Amino acid sequence: MLIAIPQILDAAQVTMLRAVIDAAEWTDGTVTSGMQARMVKNNLQLPEDSEAARKAGQMVMAALQGNPQFIAAALPHRLYPPMFNSYSGGQAFGNHVDNALRVRSGTDWRVRADLSMTLFLEPPEAYDGGELVMETDFGPQRVKLGAGDGVLYPASSLHRVEPVTRGRRIASFFWIQSMVRDPTIRGNLYQMDQAIQTLAARLGLDDPSVIALTATYHNLLRHTADA
């Protein structure tokens, strides 16, 4: 399931975050890639251990913790700290699948990558190309969102970033280990959550049908989640 989440960061937050990362020193993005990705990857990246990456990552994490749609869609157990990349001058990232496990260099801390997320940090009209393209059973799905908007998608999917032929594409990217490993169950829980929100807005939180459906949701989550 591919889920677009609007306005994870508002305009002021994007401006603050960009002030941090734009002033930092960027390096070759292949240093954090696996063998397959390294062969098709051409971009710049903030070093994971840099002060700018740490500070900007904390801003992203704080915003995600306060975003109900992200919580409902990902049911996050662990997040790999947000990273940041840049594409310009024809740079691109060819078709690849994200590594199943992401390990912090020099530590034994790891995340099973159930979900990937891209958080766009540059207005789409400011650059040409740079679409995130997912290969699905229904054909290629192309994503290019506004600054502050994010997209959540299976880390197991074959995906790529198209060449950026004008301007500069800036984004944050990271991986999520979900409390619900099975993507079908996780997707159904998300759809149920969204239906509950719609019914609650129409009928009120104290409506018996809303209460019953909410109880069913939490009992299913209790049955399927590893926390």
Q: What is the 3-state secondary structure (H, E, C) of 108-173?
A: CCEEECCEEEEEECCCHHHCEECCEEEEECCEEEEECCCCCCEEEEECCCCEEECCEEECEEEEEE
CB-based contacts of 35, cutoff 8 Å, min separation 6: none
Q: Which token pair is 22?
A: 């734009």
Nearest 5°: phi and psi at 225? Answer: -85, 145
Q: Which token pair is 138?
A: 């229904």
Strand locations in the chain (E): 3-5, 27-28, 41-42, 44-45, 76-79, 83-88, 92-96, 101-103, 110-112, 115-120, 128-129, 132-136, 139-143, 150-154, 159-161, 164-166, 168-178
> What's residue 39's pLDDT?
73
Q: Which token pair is 182?
A: 């099975």
Nearest 5°: phi and psi at 204? Answer: 100, 150
User: What pTM did the predictor assign?
Assistant: 0.93
Distance of CA 85 to the CA centre of its chain: 13
pLDDT in tens, the chain (227 residues): 899 999 999 999 999 999 999 999 999 887 665 555 667 889 999 999 999 999 999 999 999 999 999 999 999 999 999 999 999 999 999 999 999 999 987 788 899 999 999 999 999 999 999 999 999 988 999 999 999 999 999 999 999 999 999 999 999 999 999 999 999 999 999 999 999 999 999 999 999 999 999 999 999 999 999 97
**Residue 71 and residue 39 in contact, taking contact as beta carbons nearer than 8 Å:** no
* Partners of 161 in the β-ladder: 93, 132
The radius of gyration computed from the CA coordinates of the chain, to the nearest angstrom, equals: 18
CB-based contacts of 83, cutoff 8 Å, min separation 6: 32, 45, 46, 48, 53, 57, 172, 173, 174
Q: Which token pair is 33?
A: 């890639």
Give the C-alpha separation, 78 to 125, whole Å.
33
> What's residue 30's pLDDT?
75
